[in-house]
Each structure stands twice: as C-alpha cells, then as structure tokens.
C-alpha cells in the first residue's frame, strides 16, 4: 500500500530564504509525482509534474527533483516571498488513476 | 477555456441527510476524480470517472456514489451523512491529450454535517 509522507509538517522562514520541502513514498512503482499549492480553504494549484522517467522539473523559482529508487522527492523554493505562504502537497500517481497525497507542509514566509 | 468549477461553494447538512455535489470539468477533459479533504489532511481519493464509467475507487463506503454525464460533468452523492463526512470535497479533471494524470482541481465544496 502506497504511503506518502511530507516533512516538515510546518515551516516558518524569513523572506528571501531558500528552502527545501521533502516528500517520501513507500512504493517506487509510480507513474508520476506532482507538487501542488493550496491556499487556505481553496482548491489545489498544480506547480510541477515529474514523470517517472524524469529526475527534475523547474518552473521559475521552483525546482522539484525525483529519486524513485529511494522513494524521495524534494521541492526547492528559491528566494522565498510572503506570497509563497501556503500549504504544499505532493501526490504520487500509481496505476494511472489512483492519486495518493501527503498531508502537506504548511509554509509561512515572514516579511 | 474555462477551468474546473464546483457547486455549491458551501453546504450545511444534518446527520442522516443526503447531499449531491456537482463538478464541471475543464473543456476537453473526459476524466473526473473526486477527493475528500479533512481539515489539516491531504486529499483522499474517493473515485474516478472516465467516459461515464467508474474507473477506480478508494477506500470509501458505498454510500458515496457518483455519476458522470455525456458532457463529462459529474456528481458526487453521499447518503446517510455522518459527522465525519464534514470536509472539503474536491474534484479534478484530466485530459487524454495531455498527460492523463495531470489533474486540474476545482475550488472545492465545503460540507459541514451537524
């Protein structure tokens, strides 16, 4: 049974700091992995999708890496801004239809 | 191109009642998935519909049921509501012309069961 864990559960950093969010999964037989952002009480916004054959994806100040063999993914946020404050969720997709989410990391960036 | 929309935004029901939540998928998307997100938790997969047929189901009891219509919009029905059904319900649509698993989420319906 696939389980997804995100560490830390919460993080508070000063503006401008670079930071890393971690995601681990127990079954390496994944189809792809996706990082989402969720603002309080809102839906999910897709940030980056990494196919199982890829090692990383980049979008602006965000970089996500994937190491299937060790069951790990990281989301790197460069030069954090107060607008980055949100909950970040990682999700693994196995078998083409079942998406398993982690519980998320709540990020607060202080101005 | 319109995104994924859900209705209603908020809903309050009492224990034992039934509820129907609605989702309109993004234009061109024929796959809709439903998720339940309890406060402080990640979304939990309920089920997925592909071309009007259920295409997979998570660990939810039969009182959670769904439909997908020819225009690919979808409904989630929950019977005999329980207090623990209080959550944010999210739907997501995806397209066969993109990566099938790139999901686009709606804003959610917040259900409160009293």
- Whether the CB of A34 is below 8 Å from some CB of chain B: the reply is yes
- Whether the CB of B66 is below 8 Å from some CB of chain A: the reply is no
For A19, residues 6+ apart whose C-beta sits below 8 A from its C-beta are A11, A13, A76, A77, A80, A107
Q: Please list every residue in chain B whose beta carbon sits closer than 8 Å to the beta carbon of residue A100.
A: 45
What number of C-beta contacts closer than 8 Å exist between A and B?
Answer: 67
Q: Which two tokens stand for residue A49?
A: 């999708």
Digit-coded pLDDT (tens) for A51-63: 888 999 999 999 9
Taking 90 as the threshold, does the pLDDT of residue A94 lie above it?
Answer: no
A49–B101 C-beta distance less than 8 A: yes
For residue B101, what is the DSSP state?
T
Could you tell me which residues are beta bridge partners of residue B57?
B47
Is the backbone of residue B104 left (phi > 0), alpha (psi -120 to 50) or beta? beta
Q: Give A14→chain B minimum CA distance, Å.
A: 23
Mean pLDDT for chain A overall:
93
Question: What's the pLDDT score for residue A108?
Answer: 97
Q: Which two tokens stand for residue B28?
A: 């061109």
Give the span between the Cα atoms of B64 and A40, in whole angstroms: 25
Question: What's the pLDDT score for residue A96?
Answer: 53
Identify the band that residue B19 occupies on the pLDDT scale cut at 50, 70 and 90.
Answer: very high
Q: Give A99→chain B minimum CA distance, Å.
A: 6
Question: What's the pLDDT score for residue A99?
Answer: 87
Average pLDDT over residues B43-57: 91
Taking 80 as the threshold, does the pLDDT of residue A91 lie above it?
Answer: yes
Question: What's the pLDDT score for residue A7?
Answer: 94
Using CA coordinates, name the residue in chain B closest to A93.
B101
A89–B42 C-beta distance less than 8 A: yes
**DSSP state letters, A15-26:** TT--EEEEEEES
> What are the φ and ψ backbone dihedral angles of B84, each rounded to 5 degrees?
-70, -5
Among candidates B41, B56, B102 on the partner chain, residue whose Cβ is nearest the Cβ of A49: B102
- Whether the CB of B64 is below 8 Å from some CB of chain A: the reply is no
Digit-coded pLDDT (tens) for B70-92: 989 999 999 999 999 999 999 99
Q: Give B106→chain A minimum CA distance, Å.
A: 6
């Amino acid at each position: 049974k696939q389980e997804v864990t995100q560490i830390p559960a919460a993080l508070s950093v000063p503006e401008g700091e670079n930071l890393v969010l971690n995601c681990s999964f127990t079954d390496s037989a994944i189809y792809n992995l996706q990082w989402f952002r969720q603002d309080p009480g809102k839906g999910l916004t897709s940030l980056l999708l990494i196919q199982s054959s890829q090692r990383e994806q980049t979008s602006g100040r965000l970089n996500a890496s994937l190491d299937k063999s060790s069951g790990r993914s990281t989301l790197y946020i460069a030069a954090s801004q107060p607008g980055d404050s949100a909950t970040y969720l990682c999700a693994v997709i196995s078998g083409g239809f079942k998406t398993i989410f982690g519980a998320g990391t709540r990020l607060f960036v202080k101005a | 191109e319109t995104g994924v929309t859900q209705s209603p935004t908020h809903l309050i029901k009492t224990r034992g009642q039934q509820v129907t939540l609605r989702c309109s998928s993004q234009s061109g998307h024929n796959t809709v998935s439903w998720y339940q997100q309890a406060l402080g938790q990640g979304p939990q997969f309920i089920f997925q519909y592909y071309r009007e047929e259920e295409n997979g189901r998570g660990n939810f009891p039969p009182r959670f049921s769904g439909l997908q219509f020819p225009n690919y919009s979808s409904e989630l029905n929950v019977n005999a509501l329980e207090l623990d059904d209080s959550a944010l319900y999210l739907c997501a649509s995806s397209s066969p012309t993109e990566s099938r698993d790139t999901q686009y989420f709606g804003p959610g319906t917040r259900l409160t069961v009293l």
